[in-house]
Structure 1
Amino acid sequence: MSNHVINTGTSSTLPDFPGLAGTPYLTNRNFFDLQQIPPRLLVVGGGYIALELGQGMARLGSQTKLIVRGNRLLAQEESDVSAVLADAFEQDGIGLHFNVTVQQIAYTNGVFTLTLNNGEVLDGEALLIAIGRKPNTQALNSAVTGTELDAQGFIKIDDQFQTTHSGIYAIGDAAKQPAFTHVSWEDYRRLKAILCGEHRTRNDRVLGYAVYTDPLVGRVGMTLEQAHKQGITASEVTLPMAHIARSIEWGHDLGFYRMVIDTHTNLILGATLVGYETAELVHVFLSLMEAKATWQVLEQSVHIHPTYGEALPSLARLLVGDDMPTCPNM
């Protein structure tokens, strides 16, 4: 019997804004087809794609405005991550419009006009829609095979990627796995191992990811809130970028390093790094967590001076506290 694997991915969710249909709006798929920088860019959304492409275009010279339904950027991240990015975006001259929705869109003579529910009217030569992702499962004719989808159209799978039809598996974001390329690749490695008789599951690796804004956001594992929701007794330590020598030297003072630990086992549960090259630095925590290392391993490490990575043991040393025994000869 042959096996079949579905990995059809996702595509942009398109809102039903009146007036949007038939206009030359942008998504992440056609964004890079632009042949010139638009004088003004309107971005609907406050997630990864909206922030990365919006800030990039702003730095190329486009007057950029973000229209965000909620009250902060990257709503799925910690609130102070959102605050740092909002500060950075405002320094870049990006307009931030929170707690608003689009009521009407008009496109005339090469200009988009967006009317918001608070009465504001915004104009721009380009419009980027980045409000979320939907699974590419419409053409699978899943009803015929008995491969069930959930209410959002994602493929239902068990812990080992098996769909509701024997011999059909699904991996990647079409199966509601985290929407990152490296996760889809690891899903392939997991499924290959499962089919070869090894014991693997869909979530048996530490999850790390990055947001490619400036400052960067590097994330791995759990936040303190997520740990508490799982009933784990946890604590966190935070080191501002403004307290790191390399950051001061290079003028990268926005952001922070944060680590979450299990206070009973001393295991590292997660990290949030916001700052310069944190998408690289977060791999330190990812590897430590895969090795089931305690925070003391990081605290005892000697990182090279002067680097951004030098501050990671300093972050761990915030956990040492003042109750450590002192040398009697001091």
Structure 2
Amino acid sequence: MTAPEIYDALVLGTGEAGKFMAWHLGSQGLRVAAIEKKKVGGACPNFACLPSKNVVHSAKVASYFQRGPEFGIVSGEWHVDMAAVRSRKRKMVDGLEELHLNNFRKSGAEIVMGFGHFIAEKTIQVDLLAGGTRTLRADKIFIDTGSRATISTVPGLTEANPLTHVEALELDIVPEHLIILGGGFVGLEFAQAVRRFGSRVTIIERNSHLAHQQDPDISAAITELFLDEDIQIVTDANVDRVEGTSGAGVTLHITSDGAPSELKGSHLLVATGRTPNTQNIGLELVGIELTPAGHIKVNKRLETTAPGVWAMGDCAGSPYFTHISFDDFRIVRSNLAGANRTTTGRQIPSCTFIDPELAQIGLSETEAAKQGIPYRLARIPMAAILRSRTLSETRGFLKALISDDDRILGFTAFGPGVSDLLVPVQVVMSANLPYTALRDIVVAHPTMGEGFISLFSAVPAKKL
């Protein structure tokens, strides 16, 4: 082995946590190398969160064309140009890439493009994309290798070359009939978007209903929405085998409610979960243990089982959200400076960018019931918020779980633009303020925020 190049810190992967760690340490004057095998910035800005929301918004515009007469607009003939949809998305991604490269330049952190893997303690070999290798060593190493779409072992599935979210975002045609495996948030967002572009869409869900981890009223509301948009849904379904190739035509042999059947489509998208990228990077060589699910084993400070090595984001088993990966970075950054922050008890907000949006924070009714936590339920229809009527977007509802001491235990919103309602609720929850802090403020009219007044005015009185 050639003598390694010595750095103060190495960052394996430039996802949300990794890039911010590289920028932070580099800006402190440390010699830092960030190793990336695909795209600088990781999945979110390149082929996940931001590109998908870009395409989702294009689909929203398409839906406005379809609803033109409802708004008094006569649009005439129109069609979806998927190549132009893709071009708009690519333009945004290119801008984000330049933003990331500028941040690396300003911080002084070096980018090393290639596949990095441990070959000895504190030592990583990089198989460079341009050819050759480099051997790097540092006393501090931060792993942020992310996750990828899970492709199950269903016979014929891998051979069918199915789309994942990465390839789906590169479509330049409207699929004749897109079959989606999985009714989670990725499958739901793509199903609605592609349907609005004009494709037939069928969702295959192995559980008894879509969004099966949600409260029953949320699952029912999403199902009603999708059926109204003529998205076909097959639940309680197992895929026995797959024939054909995505893009040229596929046939799925499925069993639903005990009955076998066939489903034919032009394209196949797999959205059945995520697999951490922890294989073949030499973790076992340096004493970094994995969990049974394949995540890097970390403690509450995100320290691995190897001294001087941290893991952050998806690969560490943190909830699979960009904002959680960013908070992982903040935890490790603070602890490097002498703090004692942990992942315990932090808020986990989530948003699903179907239309209307689904936004959540804190306990759901299902979780509260499982944990035996008492609550008072407040719930109002979206139509009670007058702003929704001006938009002709009255589908949905707000609901909140309130404790006996008037704290907000959980909040769920299903409606237009409700992702922006999460932050004020989070502030009240984190400050341990009563729900009345939102009920009693003066809110500008007409805004979605007025819903807080209606919602929290509907909290039942305490039981005597």
Short-chain TM bin: over 0.9
Are the aligned partners of 1:208 and 1:221 in contact in 2 as well (CA < 8 Å)? yes
TM-score for the superposition, normalised by structure 1: 0.93
The yes-or-no answer on 1:140 pairing with 2:281 is: yes
Q: In the alignment, which residue of structure 1 is the partner of 2:343? A: 202
Are the aligned partners of 1:224 and 1:235 in contact in 2 as well (CA < 8 Å)? no
Are the aligned partners of 2:377 and 2:460 in contact in 1 as well (CA < 8 Å)? no
Q: Distance in 2 between matches of 1:33 and 1:222?
A: 36
Q: In the alignment, which residue of structure 1 is the partner of 2:251? A: 113
Unaligned runs of 5+ in 1: 324-330
Shift of residue 225, structure 1, vs aligned partner = 3.4
SS of corresponding position for 1:156: coil
Q: Distance in 2 between matches of 1:200 and 1:155?
A: 19
Shift of residue 321, structure 1, vs aligned partner = 4.7
| Equivalent position to 2:168, from 22, 25, 31 | 31
Q: Which has more helix, going by share of residues?
A: 2
SS of corresponding position for 1:289: helix
Q: In the alignment, which residue of structure 1 is the partner of 2:140? A: 3
Taking every aligned residue pair, what percent have the same amino acid on both sides? 32
Are the aligned partners of 1:12 and 1:133 in contact in 2 as well (CA < 8 Å)? yes
SS of corresponding position for 2:422: helix
Q: In the alignment, which residue of structure 1 is the partner of 2:328? A: 187
SS of corresponding position for 2:260: coil
1:91-150 CA-to-partner distances (Å, cap 9, x unmatched) read 111000010111121116911111111322111111000100010000222211111101
Q: Distance in 1 between matches of 2:303 and 2:371?
A: 26
SS of corresponding position for 2:327: helix
Aligned-residue RMSD, C-alpha: 1.8
Q: In the alignment, which residue of structure 2 is the partner of 1:327? A: none
Q: In the alignment, which residue of structure 2 is the partner of 1:167? A: 308
Q: Distance in 1 between matches of 2:244 and 2:230?
A: 25
1:154-201 CA-to-partner distances (Å, cap 9, x unmatched) read 111111111111111111111111101111011101110011111211
The yes-or-no answer on 1:49 pairing with 2:189 is: no
Q: In the alignment, which residue of structure 2 is the partner of 1:312? A: 452
The yes-or-no answer on 1:123 pairing with 2:261 is: no
- Structure 1: which amino acid aligns with 2:411? A
Shift of residue 322, structure 1, vs aligned partner = 11
Are the aligned partners of 1:10 and 1:133 in contact in 2 as well (CA < 8 Å)? yes
Unaligned runs of 5+ in 2: 1-137
Of the structure 1 ranges 161-170 and 107-116, higher mean CA displacement relative to structure 2 is found in 107-116
| Equivalent position to 1:18, from 138, 142, 155 | 155
Q: In the alignment, which residue of structure 2 is the partner of 1:326? A: none
Of the structure 1 ranges 218-227 and 297-306, higher mean CA displacement relative to structure 2 is found in 218-227
Are the aligned partners of 2:239 and 2:253 in contact in 1 as well (CA < 8 Å)? yes
Q: In the alignment, which residue of structure 1 is the partner of 2:22? A: none
SS of corresponding position for 1:36: coil
The yes-or-no answer on 1:86 pairing with 2:226 is: no
Q: In the alignment, which residue of structure 2 is the partner of 1:58? A: 195
Shift of residue 21, structure 1, vs aligned partner = 2.4
Are the aligned partners of 1:210 and 1:219 in contact in 2 as well (CA < 8 Å)? yes
Shift of residue 230, structure 1, vs aligned partner = 4.0
Q: In the alignment, which residue of structure 2 is the partner of 1:249? A: 390
- Cα distance change of structure 1 residues 228 and 95 upon mapping to structure 2, 3 Å threshold: closer
Of the structure 1 ranges 199-208 and 150-159, higher mean CA displacement relative to structure 2 is found in 199-208
Are the aligned partners of 2:378 and 2:460 in contact in 1 as well (CA < 8 Å)? no
| Equivalent position to 1:278, from 393, 413, 418 | 418
Q: In the alignment, which residue of structure 2 is the partner of 1:157? A: 298
Q: Distance in 2 between matches of 1:254 and 1:241?
A: 6
State the number of aligned residues: 322
Moved over 6 A (4+): none
Are the aligned partners of 1:205 and 1:290 in contact in 2 as well (CA < 8 Å)? no
Q: Distance in 2 between matches of 1:124 and 1:225?
A: 35
Q: Distance in 2 between matches of 1:280 and 1:31?
A: 27
Q: Distance in 2 between matches of 1:273 and 1:157?
A: 33
The yes-or-no answer on 1:98 pairing with 2:238 is: no
- Structure 1: which amino acid aligns with 2:252? L
Q: In the alignment, which residue of structure 2 is the partner of 1:291? A: 431
Are the aligned partners of 2:385 and 2:448 in contact in 1 as well (CA < 8 Å)? yes
Of the structure 1 ranges 233-242 and 50-59, higher mean CA displacement relative to structure 2 is found in 233-242
**Bigger radius of gyration among the two:** 2
Are the aligned partners of 1:147 and 1:155 in contact in 2 as well (CA < 8 Å)? yes
Are the aligned partners of 1:244 and 1:311 in contact in 2 as well (CA < 8 Å)? yes
Q: Distance in 1 between matches of 2:271 and 2:387?
A: 35
Q: Distance in 1 between matches of 2:384 and 2:146?
A: 41
Shift of residue 291, structure 1, vs aligned partner = 2.0
SS of corresponding position for 2:162: coil
Q: In the alignment, which residue of structure 1 is the partner of 2:90? A: none
Q: Distance in 2 between matches of 1:196 and 1:147?
A: 24
1:237-274 CA-to-partner distances (Å, cap 9, x unmatched) read 111113322223322222110111221x2111220101
